[in-house]
Amino acid sequence: MVGIARRGSYLGFFFWVALAVVGTYLMWPFNERPRKGIDLVGGFYITLNVNVKEALKSELISKKQSLLNALQSYDIADPIVNKIENDKIIFGFRTAQEANKAFQAFKTRSQIVMDVQLEGEQVILSLSELVASRVKENAVIGNVDVLRKRLDGSGVAEIGVSRQGDTNIIIELPSVENPAQAKEMIGKTSLLEIKEIEASGPSEDSLLDRYDGALPDGMTIVSEQRGGDNFYYLVSDYAELTGRELKSANMGMGSMMEPVVHFEFNDEGAQVFAEMTKRARGKQIAVIIDGVVISAPVVNTPIVGGSGFIQGRFTEDEAKNLATMLKSGAFLAPVTFEEERRIGPSLGAESIEQGLMACLMGLGFLLIFSVVFYKFSGILAFITLIYNLLLMLFIMAWLNTTLTLPGIAGMVLTVGMAIDASVLIYEKVREALMEGITFRKAIDNGFSDAMAVILDGNITTFLAGLVLYKFGTGPVQGFAITMMLGIITTLLTGLFFLRSFIDVVLDGLKWDRLSI
């Protein structure tokens, strides 16, 4: 049994050595891994504000169209007034009786989603407070998710995107090669809409003249740039088909070898696209991105299958960027740049130097402490501590996480926590030796007796780290990640690496015991 246990210790020790070799491979080149955060290499802090009012407006437009469709199912005549004003949907009917009939239908249909009021021949609807709050919340959270996908898809990896307050988003762009391109992608809403064209003309006035100078309810005017001039189209303010129904989008080449963006809708979008092109046969449809018409082709035949391409005199880079943004999704609400700060790499270099100095000083004091109190066994504990730090860096490189200044602080904290595990084990070993048992038996008792205490203390701290990561942002999360990784590596090295290390040293040097 003793021989089997020792062979297990040898295999365990060689496993740790092999892990160190693999970790060194992952860390190569050492100046690039693990990745360094903005506070270490410099970069940009960008603060965005989410225009939640636009999110509410989009929600109202969607609700308005749904309510108009509902009127037909209740056999109610279309309203003569159909508009959105002051965050409210206003429907005007010919008679008070028609308005009351619509009021009853809307009240039954809307339930708690919308507040419904009847004022003479008008029915006025507004989003309930609960729904409005949810729309605003989803707009900010959705934009955070879109930004992460968009920037990762453009090659700007390891970015920090987090919410700040009710409507702000903080973006950290460390060492970005092309910040102008990143900013351009950040600021674009990238909402794809495909709409049927009701009318077209060389100017807005020429369109309005057809409707006695007033824009029809439920309609809007969009423009397309043709050479140096603009051309204008009258379309519905509601889009049946948007980029939210996209299945894929990729850059490709058109028939004249010009860059285009190929797209494909999901099953639901493909069905809507087929119905739309069937209705618009022989007419134009508008492909609109962020309120600007990119192309307005004539539909010759209904398009079945839900795929097509966007042709808009793109360069290759523009087509690639557009495909990336369409795939990542559109913002649920537009954003504006509130603040932009640049941090130079000199501050980061100083932070790294100071952080390393703190680690080295801590390691130096711990080496002295270990040797004075535990003699040769203290040296083994110190080597275990060094391995613990390296293992932490290996895992960070493997997970491709980012090392930040708070992360370095977490590493320094890990140093103290790691030596604490060795102290607990060695004190238990001393207690066992004082009872007169053999050194190897004392080692067994020391590790088994200390395990419960070590696990209890580290698991408690790990849970605290989880809370910090869940509810913290940016630097706090960086500290929490490093601390949690440090706890995991401390348990692995303190309970397993140190044990196998002691057994290998005892057998390799033919010693019966170590000074402790």
Judge whether 100 and 130 are in contact, CB under 8 Å. no
Residue 255, pLDDT score: 63
Residue 354, pLDDT score: 75
Task: Please list, in sequence order, all residues whose beta carbon lies within 8 angstroms of the beta carbon of residue 143, skipping any fewer than 6 positions away.
Answer: 48, 50, 169, 331, 332, 333, 335
User: Which residues in 265-278 are b (16+ Cβ under 10 Å) and which e?
Assistant: beeebbebbbebbe
Token pair listed for 70: 């509902």
- Three-state SS annotation for 97-121: HHHHHHHHHHHHHHCCCEEEEEECC
CA 101 to chain centre: 46
The edge-to-edge listing of strands for the beta sheet with 246-253 is 246-253, 259-265, 307-310
Rounded-to-integer distance, Cα 484 and Cα 410, Å = 9
Token pair listed for 46: 């960008």
Using the structure block, give the residue that is written with the tokens 């932490």. 392
Burial, 136: exposed, middle or buried (Cβ in 10 Å; 0-12, 13-18, 19+)? buried
Task: Please list, in sequence order, all residues whose beta carbon lies within 8 angstroms of the beta carbon of residue 36, skipping any fewer than 6 positions away.
Answer: 174, 175, 348, 352, 402, 403, 404
Q: What CA–CA distances, in Å, run from 466 to 72, 141, 353, 458?
A: 53, 21, 28, 12
Question: 10 Å Cβ neighbour count for 443?
Answer: 25
Domains and CATH numbers, the chain: 2-42+344-508 (1.20.1640.10), 188-311 (3.30.1360.200)
Q: Outline where 251-328 has alpha helix (H).
A: 267-279, 316-328
Residue 480, pLDDT score: 84
Report DSSP state, residue 254: -
| Residue ranges for the chain with pLDDT beneath 50 | 1-5, 154-157
Residue 1, pLDDT score: 44
Residue 253, pLDDT score: 74
Residue 342, pLDDT score: 73
Task: Please list, in sequence order, all residues whose beta carbon lies within 8 angstroms of the beta carbon of residue 378, skipping any fewer than 6 positions away.
Answer: 369, 370, 371, 372, 426
